[in-house]
Structure 1
């Protein structure tokens, strides 16, 4: 009874493997020490897996066909407008050489029709983002043409007579050159997305050209501070 009441719990002893026991049971070399851990060591991933490359966009056959059709449409429209612009200038050139039209009237008619017909040709281009660049090729070709003739690199008396006032090739580097630069600007910046380009071209081509024609015909009253202008053309340019 006394022994039962005086029970004292014994503390468990910690038995570590000694070198002699390890050598005796496992027959290891003297330089080998075996230590057991209660929990397994954590696994360390040494190799790094590279992230997957983003998938390449796949273009369907219908999308590629639509893009090709748009390029063909824009290229054909550019060729058509170029031929029309060249034919327009050639037509008035022939009329001027045959003395069927005065040089000043021919020049202003080309001034009016070139920009307006170019603007009216925009709907025949496609709806792609590259359409405006194809359209701007037309005034760009005319710009290069004016530079070549204005710098007297290439001579064309018919073009000079139908476009300039006094028949001087250097005049091509002023008004006519500014004219085609505005066409390029309106095509690239405004295109069919903003009415600003349409209004600007209408004012530059129609307003300015018609004001000159009407001023020369009906402008009899000169402006006191500028005798080269008349009242009928005060809203436009010189009469």
Structure 2
């Protein structure tokens, strides 16, 4: 477990007979994280003020800005003023940068809050990397009709531990990079919530309308190559995009998937 400012980072690997702290690359991670901290303090303010137009100095700030630009491009955003601040999604960028420090032949899972990225090698499994301790987060990965050996996943909504904003009970995105997955998730929540004025949780037609609003955004992220699949749930109803099976996603509390 590492710490970045007030954020806890879970990093786990699986190697027969070799402890994590004994692996050669592991010793440089604390120094790497310390190097990110100084620039991020100033870059965070810059990104909050100028968004994708900012020119961050540090590695983390540049990764955050690049991910947001990719999401904006996929969604054809012309006015970002209604979207969440891009600096809020730095946890995903932090996950990506840490993954780059781990050798390609090492199975690894890096998790910060409700966003994670993993890589399986050989016969390694998600459970060996500790994914069973974050069951809801990895529900969508396990629900994929075609298994993947590497990717990123993020969840948000009332059923989640960390990111509980928005009208949805749960939203999950499975993508390639954690930074764009995390920011895409926040944009999705924001757009669904913006359409939910007057929603009391009982109008079935409005439930499906809000889910359809989310699917529109999710489908654009998928078409832009940022998301492989995604799931949205609200009051027992749910929508799926991409090769996902609702039968394997019981923790989303959905009785009617479409």
Fold shared by both chains (TM-score > 0.5): no
Q: What TM-score comes out, normalization by structure 1 length?
A: 0.30
Larger-Rg structure: 1
More helix by percentage: 1
Greater strand proportion: 2
- TM-score normalised over the length of structure 2: 0.29
